[in-house]
Structure 1
Amino acid sequence: MAGSFFRVECADCENEQVIFGKAANEVNCAVCGSTLATPTGGDAEFHGDVVETVEAR
């Protein structure tokens, strides 16, 4: 399984979370609950700012 992990900053509360780039489920912020990523069938669509690539494979 090839994919990367990204550190994404929430646009609402500025919390940072690590998200798998091919997320199969909607990912919500652990602090405020806003949507950080939605699945698209391939790479996830991020709704926050990608701060860095944590691990690329």
Structure 2
Amino acid sequence: MAGNFYKVQCPDCDNEQVVFGKAATEVACAVCGATLARPTGGDAEFEGEVIETVERRSASSRTESDETVEAQ
């Protein structure tokens, strides 16, 4: 599943929280409970301001520990 994570600032309390860009359910602020993102069937609609795109982990950037776990 391809998608990015975004750091979103809550419009009510200014808390910054990381949200998946294709959220399938409403995402609430962990501090005040305000809605940060709503699902749309594709990319989520953000209620707060998107501060930055957090680099997503790609299949090519797997770590040695990931490969060890799969080998077991």
Aligned partner of 1:23 in structure 2 is 23
Q: Could you tell me how far apart the structure 1 residues matched to 2:8 and 2:41 are? A: 19
How far off its partner does 1:55 sit?
1.6
Structure 1 or 2, whichever has the larger Rg, is 2
Greater strand proportion = 1
The residue correspondences of 1:15-54 to structure 2 (distance < 5 A) are: 15-54=15-54
What is the match of residue 4 of structure 1? 4
Question: Residue by residue, what CA displacement relative to the aligned partner does 1:2-55 show, whole Å, maximum 9, x if unpaired?
Answer: 000000000100000000000000000000000000000000000000000002
TM-score, structure 2 as length reference: 0.76
| In 2, Cα distance between equivalents of 1:37 and 1:22 | 9
What is the alpha-carbon root mean square deviation over aligned residues? 1.0
Structure 1: 5+ residue runs without aligned partners?
none
In the superposition, the TM-score normalised over structure 1's length comes to 0.96
Residue segments in structure 2 that go unaligned for 5+ positions in a row: 59-72
Structure 1 runs, 4 residues or longer, greater than 2 Å off: none
Q: Distance in 1 between matches of 2:32 and 2:24?
A: 21
How many aligned positions are there?
A: 57
